[in-house]
Amino acid sequence: MNDPPDHRPVIQFKNVFFRLDNGLELLHNLTLEVERGETLVLLGRSGSGKTTTLKLINHLLSATGGEILVDGRSLRDWDLIRLRRTIGYVIQEVGLFPHFTVERNIALVPQIEKWPLERIRHRVQELMQLVGLEPTLASRYPRELSGGQRQRVGVARALAADPPILLMDEPFGALDPITRVELQREFLALQNRLRKTVVFVTHDLREALLLGSRIALMEAGRLATVQTPDEFVHSTEPLTAAYLNAFGTDLKRGAS
């Protein structure tokens, strides 16, 4: 018998604000929950507060008001190092260490965690296969890889210590269209297998509809709506409708 779905929130924002030192408010009164095993997409224009929201989760930024909880525990009560090792982080420019091989880049966190060498080797091999990297690439350096290969290494590194939460900040945005579509499909297959709790930032509505369990639409630092992809494409809310019109009516036809 299958276990019932777990709808307990893994990440909670409770009336969260973020202001710069000069008083400029980038995030206003955000209340939002991310359920276990879902892919919540933060969608919005540049400056809408998406990346700010993401960086608050792993405490790269600190909220100036409200409270954020991870696994039911306030960020104030987390050990910062332990928190960040609980969360995989993938960014657009990957951020691989150029003087490390692919293998060393992927193995970084397990090495810090002092895993046995044989376990690390096995994990690196497993992850390279999982993200579609040939074993022969293990000894190469990031400069010797294509953009798509580097992005796969970034995903593998984020998954290396098997964190329950994955944060992804426009991870496919810098890739050519064909590679981007390939990696989107691979991400879907990966998520169907691993069921991580994922928060995924994008400004691309098509990507949000394809990858998201739910879509949180943000505008000017405020949460406008949270909807499933099907609800989104049939929504009559003005801001949602504006997004649909900007990306074309084919989205509605395709979702019907």
> 239: burial class by Cβ within 10 Å (0-12, 13-18, 19+)?
middle
Q: Is the pLDDT of residue 3 over 70?
A: no
Task: Say what percent of the chain tops pLDDT 70.
Answer: 93
Per-chain mean pLDDT for the chain: 90
Of the candidates 70, 82, 84, 77, the one whose C-alpha atom is nearest the C-alpha of residue 34 is: 70
pLDDT band at 7 (very low <50, low <70, confident <90, very high): low
pLDDT at residue 91, as a whole number:
85
Cβ-proximal residues to 71 (8 Å cutoff; 6+ apart), any chain: 10, 86
Report in angstroms the alpha-carbon separations of 193 from 12, 51, 146.
Answer: 24, 26, 26
The Cα–Cα gap between 225 and 244 comes to: 14
Helix (H) or strand (E) holding 113: none
pLDDT at 115 over 80: yes
- For the segment 218-231, what is each residue's pLDDT rounded down to a tens digit? 999 999 999 999 99
Rounded Cα distance between 206 and 251, Å, is 8
Q: How confident is the model at residue 2 (pLDDT cuts 50, 70, 90)?
A: very low
Estimate to the nearest angstrom the gap between the alpha carbon of 109 and the chain centroid: 18
Specify the 3-state DSSP secondary structure of 197: strand
The answer to pTM > 0.85 is yes
Of the ranges 135-139, 152-156, 242-246, which one carries the lowest mean pLDDT score? Answer: 242-246
